[in-house]
Amino acid sequence: MTNDETKKAVLDIIADIAPDEDLSNLKSDVKLRDQVQLDSMDFLDIVMELRKRHGIEVPEAEYGRLASLDSCAEYLTPKFNALEAKR
């Protein structure tokens, strides 16, 4: 999985949990919560959907790694690829 594919997977989740938001111009190096109205419960939704849709676990201590699309890609792409390798 590429970093761009990871970002798309995260954006697909955000589109579902923040359906009123325009996500077309998100900057990937800026914090998501500075660009989209996401509260702490929404953030837990991202974690839950990564678990449900992709089987990826994000420990609470590492929630900060999901701050921006770039950091999501950096943190999640190896996880996606590790899961892929196991299949």
Partner 1 sequence: MKSTRIVITGIGLTAPNGNSLEEFRRNLLGGVSGVQTIDVRYMGRHPAGVCSFDPLRHQKKKELRVGTRAGSISIYCAREAMADSRMDFSQSSTDRVGIFIGCTEHGNVETENEVYAISKFGYDTKFWSHYHNPRTVANNPAGEVSLNLGITGPAYTIGAACAAGNLGIIHATQMLRLGEVDFAICGGVSESIHTFGIFAGFKSQGALAAHADPTQASRPFDKDRNGIVVSEGGCLYTLERLEDALKRNAKIYGEIAGYCVNSDASDYVLPNPTRQAECVRRAVAHAQIEPKDVDIVNTHATSTPQGDIQECEAIRAVFGEGCPTTAINNTKSFIGHTMGAAGALELAGNLPAFSDSIVHPTINVQNLDPLCDIAGLVLNTPKRVAKVDTILNNSFGMLGINSTLIVRKYVA
Residue 19 near partner 1 by CB under 8 A: yes
Instruction: Round the CA-based radius of gyration of the chain to a whole number and report it.
Output: 12
Strand partners, 38: none
Question: Min. distance of Cβ 55 from partner 1 in angstroms?
Answer: 10
Question: Min. distance of Cβ 19 from partner 1 in angstroms?
Answer: 4
Out of 2, 5, 27, 52, name the contact with partner 1 by CB under 8 A: 52
Out of 17, 26, 56, 67, name the contact with partner 1 by CB under 8 A: 17
- 72 contacts 58 by C-beta, under 8 angstroms: no
Residue 41 near partner 1 by CB under 8 A: yes
3-class DSSP assignment, residue 5: helix
Instruction: Return the C-alpha torsion angle 49, 70, 67, 6, nearest 10.
Output: 10
Site residues, partner 1 (CB under 8 A): 16-20, 41, 44-45, 48, 51-52
